[in-house]
Amino acid sequence: MPETPVHEHITDAVKTPALVRLAPNVVLVRFETLKVYAALGALRHLLDTGVIRPGQTVVDSSSGIYALALAMACHRYDLRCRIVASTTVDAATRAQLEILGAIVDQMPPSDDLRLDQNRRVARVRELLAGDPDLHWMRQYHDPVHHLGYAELAELLRQALPGARMTVVGSVGTGASTGGLIRSLRRHDSRVRLVGVQPFGSVTFGSERFTDPDAIIAGIGSAIPFDNVHHDLYDQVHWLDFQHAMAATVALMRDHAVFAGLSTGAAHLVAAWEAARAPGDTHVVIGADTGHRYTERVFTRHREALDPADLAPLVIDGLDDLAPPWSTMAWARRGAWVPVQGRRRKDAVL
């Protein structure tokens, strides 16, 4: 039997995912918190290159799982941590951050994701102006957050040797899907990347829609992120809260996997994609557990739709985008931007 490793720090244990086969050609990569890869890789690089030093304070904005990952990585590398937290950060996460020694500045309650994000950025800038020694991690914009996912890519290559892969994951900051796919494509350029977005996100052009129930802060954004490289994505899916909830509850019911909304959304998308490409192994990125969605999702499980009844509207352009679920071949092109009220394919952000 292989030896069970004894880890020197909890981050080594937490970053290692469980791989679970959900269907013959669908594998879930389930994390306690995916962004430990991003935080560890970023801090290692910044320390090694002398950008930051042990004992220094790093600061960033987060809606939840990156905050905890960064605080844990700071604990490991003897760094101080300050988090400007979204209104969506729950009491359990905040308590963990505070016990780990992080200073937490949490935004006031708001149903407006853009307002919440703008408030967080303004607060970070205020802190930087008051203390020039702070290092802003800029998880949304600094490409250093892509580096840690090379290790995950190697893990997948070893676990799925010879498989032609399609990676399905929420877009969010762009770091996890972007860093992972770049590393995988160094060995096989055919690896497909399927991105998942909520309606209302500016990242892939759905900002004209609103989804009042949406609490999927880690999937989309109300402001542009430099770490999202649109030309890495082969296909994009937009889902509303009800569809994500249906698949998240089904993942628990059918596979006993307790995971977050972004994982459920990716699971629904992967099932649809896998039926159309049975020869590919579809790798579903499960970013976190379901604990922070207990009240809004799992206690409402009787309300959940049946995923077997759900299918997307297949569109050719963003003018045809419509809730509750749409999908489009992005074909590794740049971002579409508005041109006189419409969007054109050759306009790149």
- Residue with the bigger pLDDT between 110 and 326: it is 326
pLDDT in the model for residue 157: 97
Residues 29 and 42 in one domain: no
The 8 Å CB, 24+ separation contacts for 42-50 are: 42/73, 42/137, 42/139, 42/142, 42/144, 42/145, 42/147, 42/148, 43/73, 43/74, 43/77, 43/79, 44/77, 44/147, 44/148, 45/144, 45/147, 46/135, 46/144, 47/77
Q: Do the domain assignments include residue 133?
A: yes
Phi-psi map region of 338: left, alpha, beta (phi>0 left; psi -120 to 50 alpha): beta
Please compute the mean of the pLDDT values over residues 335-346 and round it to a whole number.
48
Residues 164 and 198 in one domain: yes
Side-chain half-sphere exposure of 227, counting CA atoms within 13 A: 24
Q: Do the domain assignments include residue 208?
A: yes
Going 91 to 92 to 93 to 96, the CA torsion angle's sign is: positive
Domain boundary (96, 119, 138) is at 138
Per-residue pLDDT tens for 211-220?
Answer: 866 655 567 8
Residues 21 and 96 in one domain: no
Q: Do the domain assignments include residue 213?
A: yes
Q: Do the domain assignments include residue 172?
A: yes
Residues 171 and 126 in one domain: no
Residue 119's domain is classified under what CATH number? 3.40.50.1100
Closest alpha carbon to 273 in 317, 228, 312: 312
pLDDT in the model for residue 221: 81
Residues 229 and 307 in one domain: yes
- Residue with the bigger pLDDT between 337 and 55: it is 55
Residues 166 and 17 in one domain: yes
Closest alpha carbon to 227 in 193, 178, 286, 183: 178
Q: Do the domain assignments include residue 342?
A: no
Residues 114 and 99 in one domain: yes
pLDDT in the model for residue 215: 53
pLDDT in the model for residue 214: 64
Domain boundary (106, 121, 138) is at 138
Q: 63-72 in b/e burial notation, b at 16+ Cβ within 10 A?
A: bbbbbbbbbb
Q: Do the domain assignments include residue 2?
A: no
Q: Do the domain assignments include residue 180?
A: yes
Cα 117 from Cα 106, distance rounded (Å)? 11
pLDDT classification of 346: cutoffs 50, 70, 90: very low
Q: Residue 284: beta bridge partners?
A: 28, 168
Residues 173 and 41 in one domain: no
Residues 29 and 50 in one domain: no
Kindly give, in sequence order, each residue whose CB lies less than 8 Å from that of residue 173, ignoring residues fewer than 6 positions away: 66, 139, 140, 145, 221, 225, 227, 228
pLDDT in the model for residue 283: 98
Residues 99 and 15 in one domain: no
Q: Do the domain assignments include residue 4?
A: no
Residue range of the domain that includes 92: 36-138
Per-residue pLDDT tens for 21-65?
Answer: 999 999 999 999 999 999 999 999 999 999 999 999 999 998 778
- Looking up tokens 């690896």, which residue turns up? 191
Per-residue pLDDT tens for 96-118?
Answer: 999 999 999 998 877 676 777 78
The answer to whether 206 and 122 have CB atoms below 8 angstroms apart is no
Q: How many CB atoms are closer than 10 A to CB 306?
A: 9
Per the structure, the count of domains in the chain is: 2
Cα 312 from Cα 331, distance rounded (Å)? 18
Going 4 to 7 to 12 to 15, the CA torsion angle's sign is: positive
Residues 132 and 154 in one domain: no
**Percent of the chain's residues with pLDDT above 90:** 79
Residues 314 and 262 in one domain: yes
